[in-house]
Structure formats: C-alpha cells, structure tokens
Amino acid sequence: MYVLEAIEVTKVYSIGERRIPVVDRVSLSVRPAEFLVVEGTSGSGKTTLLSLLSGLDKPSSGRVRVLQRDITDLGEDELAPLRNEAIGFVFQSFHLIPSLTTLENVMFPAELKRDQTAQTKAQALLRRVGLSERGSNFPHQLSGGEKQRVAICRALVNGPTIVFADEPTGNLDSSNGQAILDLLLELHREHGTTLVLVTHNAKIAALADRVITLQDGKITGERRHAS
C-alpha cells in the first residue's frame, strides 16, 4: 500500500506562446513511514513537484493520489479538510501568522477541525521542542530556528500521515539547520510519519530511505539507502 502516488504528473506554464514544462511526466510511489528526499539544483522543479503531490497545486496532466484517494480533480472545499487532517507542511520561510502567538499558530490547524484538545496538543508539542516558555510570544519575537520549530509543531498538531518539507533548513545557519533536521527526523521516527523533503543538501539526502533526483522537471536518478 502507498500513502502517496504520482502517475505521469506534468506541470506546464505558458509564457506568451511558449510552453515550459516545469515538472515532466513524473511517476513515483511513497510507502507509509518512508523518508523520501527530492533533490536537485535550483530550478529543477522540486518545489513545484512538492506542491503537486500535496494538493497545493494541480497538474496540467497526470494523476495524484493521497492515502489511495485521487485528489487531482478535487475542488478546494474537498481538498482543504484532507490537507488539514492528513498532511503537514514545513516551508523554508516558516509562513507563521504574524498576528497570532506561538501557541495560537500551532493550535490553528487543530482549531480549523474544531478539535477540543487543540490547546493541549499544541502545548505538548511546544514542550517537546523546548518552546513552552515562548507560547505567548509573536513570530517577530522569535529567532529563525525558533520560528521553524513552531512551524514543525504546527505541521504535526493534527497527527498527519504525511509531512512535506520544502528546504526546511534553507534559511537557517548550520547549527540551527542541523537542530531542525534532527527534530524532524526524530518526530518522523517516533510517530511513523511519512516525510517527503525537498533539499539540495547532500548531507540531508544521505539520511533518507530513498532519494530521487530531479533535473529539468524529470526524475533522472533514484537510490535507496539501507535502513
């Protein structure tokens, strides 16, 4: 059984009369609890592929299945609850809501599904990442590493099956970046979450169960690492 599948997925952008394939006939399958890295140089299509796999964007052609459900043609009203409950996102630039406190940012996805235990879950996660004393702080009062830890907590608060991470250490110094990576991997192992991570960092790729390489929107290589 696969938790994520892409079948001949293509994304084409049009500029005037030019048609530019950013993702070109990509097919892949991801197993439960797998740690998959998508690597490639800047402009290879990594972030676009992640957006297509997670339902944030729609392919020009091909199909995407999440938890064995074809999401390709779903409208936003159907996609939003699926993304909120089954999928977590960690972005390079954090995407925290400036007007919400640390605790409120983490609680937000759980509150969207009217989870009465949202605050308890959020507080437990913040304790887990060493930020329990920062719950009443706003994003502008946090360091980059703290913001990314908050973003990870927010991604995990609903207990998602799949977490997508787009260059999650890209805006951090090496020390904070390593701490964030360690945290993501620790939580991935503890909760059995499937982790799909985009990076161009070879050291991060070396830790994955499987690595696929993108070039010009196409998969040009795949390798597996012993678990």
The answer as to whether 148 is a domain residue is yes
The answer as to whether 191 is a domain residue is yes
CA dist 152 → 14, 88, 218, 224 (Å): 34, 8, 29, 26
Query: Tokens 């983490």 map to which residue?
Result: 106
State how far the Cα of 129 lies from the Cα of 134, in Å rounded to an integer. Answer: 11
CA 71 to chain centroid, in Å, comes to 17
Q: Do 88 and 81 contact (CB within 8 A), yes or no?
A: no
pTM of the predicted protein model: 0.89
CATH number reported for the structural domain that contains residue 176 in this entry: 3.40.50.300
Question: What residues form DSSP beta bridges with 219?
Answer: 214
pLDDT in tens, 97-136: 999 999 999 999 999 889 999 999 999 999 988 899 999 9
Nearest to 31 by CA among 204, 224, 184, 216: 224
Residue 83 pLDDT: 87
The answer as to whether 206 is a domain residue is yes
The answer as to whether 26 is a domain residue is no
Which amino acid is located at 59 in the chain? P
Give me the half-sphere count of Cα atoms (radius 13 Å) on the Cβ side of residue 123. Answer: 5
Residue 140 pLDDT: 96
- Indicate the pLDDT class of residue 226, thresholds 50, 70 and 90: low
- Indicate the pLDDT class of residue 209, thresholds 50, 70 and 90: very high
Nearest to 208 by CA among 54, 38, 77, 67: 38
Phi-psi region of 95 (alpha: psi -120 to 50; beta: other; left: phi over 0): left
Q: Cβ atoms within 10 A of the Cβ of 169, count?
A: 23
pLDDT in tens, 173-190: 888 788 888 888 888 888
Residue 71 pLDDT: 94
Residue 214 pLDDT: 94
Q: Which sign does the torsion angle of CA 86, 82, 195, 182 carry?
A: negative
The answer as to whether 24 is a domain residue is no
Residue 196 pLDDT: 95
pLDDT in tens, 151-163: 989 998 998 999 9
The answer as to whether 23 is a domain residue is no
225 vs 48 pLDDT, higher one: 48
Number of domains within the chain: 1
129 vs 10 pLDDT, higher one: 10
The answer as to whether 91 is a domain residue is yes
Q: Domain limits at 144?
A: 33-57+76-224
The answer as to whether 68 is a domain residue is no
pLDDT winner (highest mean) among 75-79, 119-123, 154-158, 165-169: 119-123
Q: Cβ atoms within 10 A of the Cβ of 219, count?
A: 20
Residue 185 pLDDT: 87
